[in-house]
Amino acid sequence: MGIVGLVTFLTRLPGGCRAINIVDEIRKSEKKEPLVVIDLLTIICSLSGPIDENIYGCRNQFAWTYASNFCDRLIEAGARLVFFIDGKLQEGKYKRWIQRQEKVYAECLKKLDNIPVEFKGKHRGQIQGNVTKHSFISALVTAARKKGVLITSYDVECDLEVATFAKKHDALAVITGDSDYLIYEGKWRVWSSSDFDLDTMRTFEWDKEVLRKALNLEWSQMPFFAAIAGNDRFKNRPSRMCTFYQVAQRVKELNLKLGITRIGIELYEKIFGRRDENLRNSFEDAISLYDLNYTIKKPLVPQEMRHFPNYAICILRNIPSSIRLPCLDLREEDYSQYALQLYRRQVGMLFRHRPIVYGQMLTSQVFIKTSHHNPYKIIAATPIYPPSGVKVPLPEELYTLDTEVSSSMVMTKLRLLCWLVSDTLTVDQIFYIHPNYLLDVLTLYFLVENNLLDVVTADIILITIHDCLTNVIERRIPLHRPRKPNVTTCFLYVNFYALMYFSAEIVGLRKELDSYFLSKFDGVYFNAIVDQLRYDYVQMESTMHSLSNLRIYAKFGQPAEADGGARNRPRFPSVWARRRRENRP
């Protein structure tokens, strides 16, 4: 992210890049409570375990441990933490975002098709980026809320808001993996999330002052340098400017300065050798990314909605959301349509109270890859509304910060969650399911009902979840060579679990999200046990006996597979039952 090759260039400059221990740097700070600002999405790869576990669908049950440990060690060193995350994709990035998603999709399929080959070597099973890591993102978001402050950016680029905040509040450092931060003026330091090691808390510091001096530029000239060199908004570097030094030299020759130099078509032609108004606009947009003196006339999200879940905000404010199903082969199954079905119900629930105007159709914009051959694009999703018998509170009621009011609506929220999953699901079926298992069971129910998963495989996933929750799985277990069908099952499960997590968020189960609903699935463990258990009926029956009450999806299989009824009710007291008693008039 940012300016391609700039960090590599910096590492070759004397003093441009040095090894540090983050905890030591915080303790050495003279500030009373040093502020550390964290670009949340860039740190995920360093907090999601060994890269060779990615091909299995990750070991999601450790996500909270990693996220919590990361925050705790910074706080114990004396830091105050503020996290930033993008709330929306800025329009100027749509084209490049689509290109990146298409590339990710192609690379994931190649990895899956070549599993025997990919399993060999130093980087066996590595899948780049955050595409498979929803559980790690949601865990860090939860940790950020509990242990620091989480700010979601809507009106401007997250980078710009982070840099502005860091400068305004005299931050000690920004933790990021984005080279754009080397362009911003400010006394705060840049600590690399790309090189971060959670065990040792060591990383590299990128010295932006060393970079500026090496280029012999003023801070006001750095935005022009970045835009001409090529950033995420604009990649059109003139062929005669092959090196960063040549780019900097041209900036000095033309005396280009942010806030002073007018970016007209003549200037664009002078720099790039041709007149193109569209490219000139993109160039100006690329420069504005570094303008810390920006103003927001009308916020995209009103203050009274800022505490709503981001997923709901995007639907309510008509901000294009995205449905991504990484590592699922759309040649094999129409996975996107099943995900879209769930999304349309989410939209219908949130649009329930909107007035219907004759001749107008309410829709929600969403990025989606509808088939293997069609690229990601924005479509207008039409809502599927709940039946009249399903009560839908107003959004401000669903997402109220009043804990008493929120607790009183738990059963209403559970009914809504059931409807989002299926017309065949009722709250009575899930009433006795412990919250720790609820989203897992709902995910399996959805997948089995739609013939995306067979009952036996669903049972083995449930065993995996149970073993994760009862802590019987060791952190270090051998990596067995995976088989493509099993790996596909892992990605199918974790992708649709993420959609189920969003559904729980949509209905307002925020407290449960933070306490119970973080993903527990261990892809490595599942791959180790699935082939053995699938044909070991005796062991399967013995293992599943204590979990039979959770098998509400079994009714979609053979009659013998259905659950055993009332005698199999759980031994643990129902959390939902306790809440219903507490809220009974």
Query: Which residue, of 181, 206, 231, is where some domain finishes?
Result: 206
My answer on whether 314 and 173 are in the same domain is no
pLDDT for the residue 492: 95
| In a domain? residue 303 | no
| In a domain? residue 280 | no
Number of domains present in the structure of the chain: 2
Report the C-alpha gap between 268 and 280 in whole angstroms.
6
| In a domain? residue 291 | no
Query: Which residue, of 206, 239, 272, is where some domain finishes?
Result: 206
What are 231-240's pLDDT values in tens digits?
888 887 888 8
User: Is 212's pLDDT higher than 90?
Assistant: yes
CATH no. for residue 164? 3.40.50.1010
pLDDT for the residue 513: 83
Contact between 229 and 272 under an 8 Å Cβ cutoff? The reply is no
User: Is 568's pLDDT higher than 50?
Assistant: no
| In a domain? residue 496 | yes
Report the C-alpha gap between 270 and 267 in whole angstroms.
5
My answer on whether 194 and 329 are in the same domain is no
| In a domain? residue 295 | no
**Residues in contact with 197: Cβ distance below 8 Å, sequence separation at least 6, in sequence order:** 46, 203
pLDDT for the residue 479: 84
The DSSP bridge partners found for residue 268 are: none
What are 265-274's pLDDT values in tens digits?
999 889 888 8
Can you say how many angstroms the Cα of residue 318 is from the centroid of all Cα atoms in its chain? 19
Please give the mean pLDDT across all residues of the chain.
89
Q: Tokens in use for 573?
A: 């007291």
By three-state DSSP, how is residue 426 classified? coil
Q: Tokens in use for 63?
A: 């996500």
The runs of H, that is alpha helices, within 125-276 are 134-147, 158-168, 208-215, 222-229, 244-254, 265-272
Q: Percentage of the chain with pLDDT > 90?
A: 67
| In a domain? residue 363 | yes
349-370 mean pLDDT: 89
- What is the sign, positive or negative, of the torsion defined by CA atoms of 177, 143, 164, 28? negative
Range of the domain at 174: 17-206
pLDDT for the residue 503: 97
Query: Which residue, of 206, 241, 276, is where some domain finishes?
Result: 206
What are 149-160's pLDDT values in tens digits?
999 999 999 999
Q: Tokens in use for 359?
A: 């001749």
| In a domain? residue 305 | no
User: Is 579's pLDDT higher than 70?
Assistant: no
| In a domain? residue 22 | yes
The structure's pTM equals 0.90
Of the pLDDT bands very low, low, confident and very high (cuts 50, 70, 90), residue 355 is: confident
What are 380-402's pLDDT values in tens digits?
999 999 999 899 999 999 999 99
pLDDT for the residue 580: 47
By three-state DSSP, how is residue 522 classified? strand
By three-state DSSP, how is residue 481 classified? coil
